[in-house]
Chain A
Amino acid sequence: MTLEAFFFYAFTTLALGGATLAITRRSAVHAAISLMVSLLGVAGLYLLLNAEFLFVSQIILYIGGILLLFLFVIMLVNLDAGRGLRQFHQRWPLGAAVTAIAGVAFAILWSRAKLPPSQTMPDVGNVELVADTLLQDYLVPFEVVSLLLLVAVVGSVLLARKRA
């Protein structure tokens, strides 16, 4: 087994195992930690796909930002009160079967798909390339998305504020 294949399977195991645990653990904190493992596995796959910028932003933004926010909210709300309550839908085997069929169907489709031979990226660093494209071809979406972030921050503060 080559080094590339070894790392691919290692990161795949992390991603799939973390995702499975994230949807099956009863405790929300355990689910969040498992989700972190899954996101780390996908970050490693980004590295194998030569996307260093996304590898770093996945760790900083997803794991350091979004997941930490999740953990904070889990600590803020008192989930212990609902511990004895049902965590899974009564008819969960039905949902699992439907999504399993869809997932297997897509997996078979992709395994049969013949992708054209891959082209090589221009020979500059990934971060330079992303920065150039983001600030030249995608300047307007970039500004719009920064406005969206601002609105989201202000909106969430307004929403979560205690009523005076």
Chain B
Amino acid sequence: MTHLLPPEFFTATVPLNAYLILSAILFAIGACGFMFRKNIITIYMCIELMLNAVNLSFVTFSYQFGKVDGQIYSFFVMVVAAAEAAVGLAIILTIFRNRGTLQIDEIDTLKN
């Protein structure tokens, strides 16, 4: 037995297109939140949501083509997301220490 789920479990009742559709919808939800949230931390969460949606596409295609490469890319995306979260949250902490707010409206030094 090479997989956690036995082969009898897979009855091919769910087409792979369904996974891709779900990935597209998840990405759209993430992009939507990215556009209308006003708080830096929640905007960051929306970025994670979008990365996760892309990962789902990668894994679906990996299953489809019978190659493990898609899962490797997905793993790299996860690692880069972790690095991004570490640096990004440090930046958020610094912004909060210097300005006392995390509302994107009030962090507009570059705009003026």
Contact = CB atoms under 8 A, between A and B. Distances in A.
Interface of A: 1-5, 8, 12, 15-16, 19-20, 22-23, 28, 31-32, 35, 38-39, 42, 45-54, 57-58, 61-62, 65-66, 69-70, 73-74, 76-79, 81-82, 85-89, 91-92, 95-96, 98-100, 102-103, 106-107, 109-111, 113, 115-116, 118-126, 129-130, 133-134, 137-138, 141, 145, 148-149, 151-153, 155-157, 159-160, 162
B68 A156 contact: no
A138 B26 contact: no
Interface of B: 2-5, 9-22, 24-33, 35-39, 41-42, 44-46, 48-49, 52, 55-56, 59-60, 62-69, 71-72, 74-76, 78-87, 89-94, 96-97, 100-103, 105
B21 A46 contact: no
Contact of A52 (B4, B29, B37, B105): B4
Contacts of B44: 70
A50 B63 contact: yes
Contact of B85 (A15, A66, A109): A66
B39 A70 contact: no
B63 A51 contact: yes
A69 B90 CA distance: 10
Contact of B81 (A49, A66, A157): A66
